[in-house]
Amino acid sequence: MSAPTSTPTRTGRLRDLGAGRGPSRLTGLPGLGIARGAFVALAVGVALLFQTTVFPHFHWHGVGPNLVLLVVVASGLARGAHFGMVAGFAAGLLLDLAPPADHAAGRWALALMAVGYVAGRVRQDAPAGVGGALAAVAACSFLGSSIFALTGLVLDPGVGVPDLLEVVLAGVVWDLVLAAFVVPVVLRGLAALDPSTDRS
């Protein structure tokens, strides 16, 4: 009688990098899934279009919402830290290069990569629900805006810290206001592309 082949017995959520079940989630870019990657790319493109053409007319003291950041947060919440980091880096580079960019390239890439990672860790450790999602948006918005502002402070020491803090806080408020419209759409889209995702 031949020995039985070994099969995975753990059915809980994988803790490695905040990913879902199965080794394909941990193998880099191919494991992200073409459909999910295309959906996030489309969502980032639409968010960037609105962010650069529509919302500049509604800025408060020069500060407006960061729709691209919200897409990255939703991606991390839906798919984990690895997916969130990759999506954040790509979206950040696009945001760095999109006109009328007036800052050094790479600042948003760094900020949104950190945002994607933190959102993915929140997916692991925090309870699901509206309150958890809003708390994740607030924390990630503050983190991303702070990283972007601090890198600007290093490159332009003439900017005052109180001014930066005011900009960061205003950005967090903007992002929270629009999170209810952006985050659920991205979450539902990614869930529809992967109905086997563990949402417990």
Q: How far apart are CA 117 and CA 82, in angstroms?
A: 7
Cα–Cα dist 80/12, whole Å = 15
Coil vs helix vs strand at 133: helix
Residue among 89, 102, 108, 93 at smallest CA distance from 146: 108
Residue-level pLDDT, tens digit, the chain, 200 residues:
544 444 443 333 333 333 344 433 433 444 447 889 899 999 999 999 999 999 888 887 778 889 999 999 999 999 999 999 999 999 999 999 988 777 778 899 999 999 999 999 987 665 567 777 888 999 999 999 999 888 877 776 655 566 678 888 888 999 999 999 999 999 999 988 875 544 43
Burial of 116: CB neighbours in 10 Å, binned 0-12, 13-18, 19+: buried
- Look up the pTM and report it: 0.76
* pLDDT value for 132: 79
Q: Is residue 66 within a helix (H) or strand (E), and if so which, with residue range?
A: none
